[in-house]
Every structure is written in structure tokens, then in C-alpha cells.
């Protein structure tokens, strides 16, 4: 997993919150216990509280920096945060809702992890997730094509690449596990400001493993070339730089 920077991630907090809100709007149950898998700095918990005022919320994240900020900023007596790796973590009680916002794209064996967590779901429980599905977008193509070129190919050869994550694969998985499933995709048009706003966006997410694998002059060269390619792919317009961003959603409830 990348080493996360809460400040960099929160640079586009409002834009990143939109899919989270769209996801929880489709959850049809009234949970009493929610686990937010990959809760980040905890800034989205307030949206859960607005919808479910009396619900217990546990947010977990593998980043100590993210969890530290979530704990520092927490004023919700019904919310708690802990450092844990979703690939091996299990709850110590039954959960009504597992919620995940942009986490499972980082996990190679994500369906094995989800299947294990389903065993801790209550009889009326739900599993709701959202993942980016833009592996074919210029952001990712620019990043991966540059990473394949010398002198970057060797140090970046072991960086895992995120592939397509379409709605149908989640529909088929949850249906096969006897869940009623609502799965869909949405493309958001984010209008960004700044000199290199698309680079700023991906440097807080998908580009982080690449940037962390480089250092010194080589990293500076990579960043300069990546900014140039992204600027060409996403030229600024009258209202700003438009970044189309497709995301996949699934809300699965027990039958």
C-alpha cells in the first residue's frame, strides 16, 4: 500500500466526497454497527452520522498518518478509529454494514478479502463499496507509459498497476454469494484549478506508489515529464481543467 499524505489527499476533499455520498445514498438498511474500511483521515464520517445518528462507527485504515489525523479531529462519541490492514483484519463483533470508499483497487486478491469479511456480516447486513474504474484514462496511460520508459522502467518495474474494475464483476460476485446487488458506474467531471491540477490529483492517489519508488533527480525528472503529459492530455479550458473520472459502485444486501 502507498504511504499516504492526509494533506495531499484532502486537497480535493469535496470532489472526492461526491462518490462517497452517492454510495451511502443507495444503502437500503438501517445499520447499528458500521465499519468504514479505509476510512482515511475520518473526514467523511460526518456524512454517516447525518444519515444514521445513533449508529456506532469504526473506521480502520492501514495508514498511521491517516488514522492519527482522524483521531485528532474526532468529536463524535460514537465513532472510533484504528490502524489495521483490511487484507488480514477481522472485526470482534457482528457488523451490519461494511463500507469501503476507494480501497479495494489496491488489493490484488480483493474478492478473497471481501468473501472473508462477509462471514462477519449480520443476517440483515450490507456491503457497500466504491472503486475507481479509469485504468484506460489518460491519467493512468500517461503514468504507466512513462514508467515503462528508461530510465524509470527498472526502479518502477515492481510497482503494482491498477486494472479495470467494472460493475459487472461485483454484480456477479455478490449475486453468487446470495446477495441482492445494486451495481453501477458513474463518470464525474471534476473541474480543477491550478497550474498542474491533474498531477496534483493523482499524486495523492494512483501516482503515489510510483513517486515513492523514486528519489532525487530521477524522481524530479519523472514528475516534470508526467506533468507535461498530463497537461497535454488535460488542457485547461475557460472554466478550468476538466478531469473525467469513472467510478464503479456496488451495494450488496443479504437476501
Give me the pLDDT at residue 9, please.
52
The CATH topology of domain 6-254 is Rossmann fold (3.40.50)
Find out whether 251 and 181 touch, Cβ atoms under 8 Å.
Answer: yes
Instruction: Give the Cα separation of 246 and 19 in Å (integer).
Output: 10
- Sorted by where each begins, the domain ranges of the chain are 6-254
What is the dihedral sign for C-alpha 119, 124, 82, 250?
Answer: positive
83: β partners: 61
What is the dihedral sign for C-alpha 40, 251, 132, 170?
Answer: positive
Local mean pLDDT, 10-residue blocks, the chain (255 residues): 54 78 96 96 92 97 93 96 96 97 94 98 97 95 96 94 92 98 97 94 91 96 98 95 97 96
Give me the pLDDT at residue 6, please.
55
CB neighbours of residue 69 within 10 Å = 22
Amino acid at each position: 500500500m502507498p504511504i499516504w499524505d492526509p494533506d495531499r489527499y484532502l486537497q480535493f476533499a469535496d470532489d472526492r466526497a461526491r462518490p462517497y455520498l452517492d454510495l451511502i445514498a443507495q444503502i437500503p438498511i438501517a445499520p447499528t454497527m458500521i465499519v468504514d474500511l479505509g476510512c482515511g483521515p475520518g473526514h467523511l464520517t460526518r456524512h454517516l452520522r447525518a444519515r444514521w445518528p445513533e449508529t456506532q462507527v469504526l473506521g480502520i485504515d492501514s495508514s498511521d498518518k491517516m488514522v492519527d489525523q482522524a483521531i485528532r479531529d474526532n468529536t463524535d462519541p460514537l465513532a472510533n478509529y484504528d490502524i489495521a490492514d483490511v487484507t488480514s483484519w477481522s472485526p470482534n463483533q457482528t457488523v451490519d454494514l461494511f463500507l469501503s470508499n476507494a480501497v479495494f483497487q489496491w488489493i490484488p486478491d480483493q474478492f478473497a478479502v471481501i468473501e472473508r469479511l462477509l462471514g462477519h456480516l449480520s443476517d440483515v447486513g450490507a456491503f457497500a463499496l466504491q472503486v475507481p474504474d479509469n485504468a484506460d484514462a489518460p491519467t493512468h496511460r500517461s503514468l504507466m507509459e512513462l514508467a515503462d520508459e528508461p530510465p524509470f522502467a527498472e526502479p518502477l518495474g515492481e510497482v503494482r498497476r491498477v486494472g479495470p474494475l467494472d460493475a459487472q464483476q461485483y454484480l456477479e460476485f455478490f449475486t453468487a454469494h446470495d446477495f441482492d446487488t445494486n451495481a453501477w458506474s458513474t463518470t464525474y467531471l471534476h473541474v480543477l484549478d491550478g497550474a498542474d491540477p491533474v498531477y496534483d490529483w493523482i499524486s495523492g492517489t494512483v501516482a503515489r506508489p510510483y513517486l515513492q519508488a523514486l528519489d532525487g533527480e530521477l524522481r524530479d525528472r519523472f514528475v516534470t515529464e508526467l506533468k507535461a503529459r498530463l497537461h497535454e492530455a488535460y488542457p485547461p479550458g475557460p472554466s478550468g481543467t476538466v478531469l473525467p473520472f469513472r467510478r464503479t459502485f456496488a451495494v450488496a444486501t443479504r437476501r
